[in-house]
Chain A
Amino acid sequence: MATNNQGSRAAREAAAAARAQAKAQTQKRERTIQLIGGLAVLVVVAVLVVIAITKKPPTTSIGALPTGVTKDTLGVQVGTAWSASNASSIPKLQIWEDFQCPACKNLEDANGANILSLANSGKVRLEWRPTIFLDTNLQGQNSAAGNPNSSALATMAFGCAVDAGKAEQFHTTLFAHQPQEGNGYSASDLTKYAGMSGINGKAMDTFNNCLSSKKYNGWVQNSFKAFNDAGVTSTPTGVLNGKTLDPKILYTPAELTKAIASATK
Chain B
Amino acid sequence: MKRVISTPAVGFHYRLVLAGVLLYAGGAKFFEGGYAAQMAINAYKIFPPAWAPFLGHFLPGLEILLGILLLAGMFVRLTALITAILMTGFILGIISVWVRGYSIDCGCFGGGGEVSAAGKTWRYSSEILRDLLFVGLAVRLVVWPSTPFAFENLGTRHTYSQESPEEQ
Chain A interface (Cβ within 8 Å of chain B)?
A: 15, 18-19, 22-23, 25-26, 29-34, 37, 40-41, 44-45, 48-49, 51-52, 55-57, 133, 136-137, 224-225, 228-234
Contact = CB atoms under 8 A, between A and B. Distances in A.
A26 B30 contact: no
B30 A48 contact: yes
A34 B69 CA distance: 12
Give the interface SS of chain B, mostly helix, strand, loop or mixed: helix
B109 interface: no
A65 B152 CA distance: 59
Nearest to A16: B168
A133 B154 contact: no
A178 B65 CA distance: 45
29 contacts: A15-B163, A18-B163, A22-B160, A22-B161, A23-B159, A26-B159, A33-B74, A34-B75, A34-B155, A37-B69, A37-B74, A40-B72, A41-B75, A45-B61, A45-B65, A48-B30, A51-B30, A133-B39, A136-B35, A137-B113, A228-B38, A228-B39, A228-B49, A228-B52, A229-B50, A230-B49, A233-B39, A233-B113, A233-B114
Interface in B124-168: 151-152, 154-156, 159-163, 167-168
Contacts of B61: 45, 48-49, 52
Contact of B48 (A22, A49, A133, A231): A231
B160 A19 contact: yes
A137 B35 CA distance: 11
Contacts of B43: 233
Contacts of B34: 57, 136
Give the interface SS of chain A, mostly helix, strand, loop or mixed: helix
Interface in B1-56: 30-31, 33-36, 38-39, 42-43, 45, 48-50, 52-53
B45 A231 contact: yes
B64 interface: yes
A231 B65 contact: no
Contacts of B72: 37, 40
Q: Which one of A55, A133, A233 has the greatest number of beta carbons of chain B within 10 Å?
A: A233
Q: How large is the interface on B (under 10, 10 to 19, 20 to 34, 35 or more residues)?
A: 35 or more
Given A33-B154, A34-B155, 9 more contacts: A18-B163, A45-B65, A57-B35, A228-B35, A228-B52, A231-B45, A233-B43, A233-B113, A234-B114
A211 B31 CA distance: 32
A229 B49 CA distance: 6
B156 A26 contact: yes
A248 B161 CA distance: 76
B38 A52 contact: no
B68 interface: yes
Given A18-B162, A133-B39, A52 B156 contact: no
A136 B38 CA distance: 13
B57 interface: yes
A51 B31 CA distance: 9
A133 B35 contact: yes
A37 B155 CA distance: 11
Nearest to B68: A44
Interface in B82-116: 104, 113-114
Nearest to B49: A231
Contacts of B154: 29, 33
A133 B154 CA distance: 50
Nearest to A52: B57
B151 A22 contact: no
Contact of A136 (B36, B49, B50, B161): B36
B113 A133 contact: yes
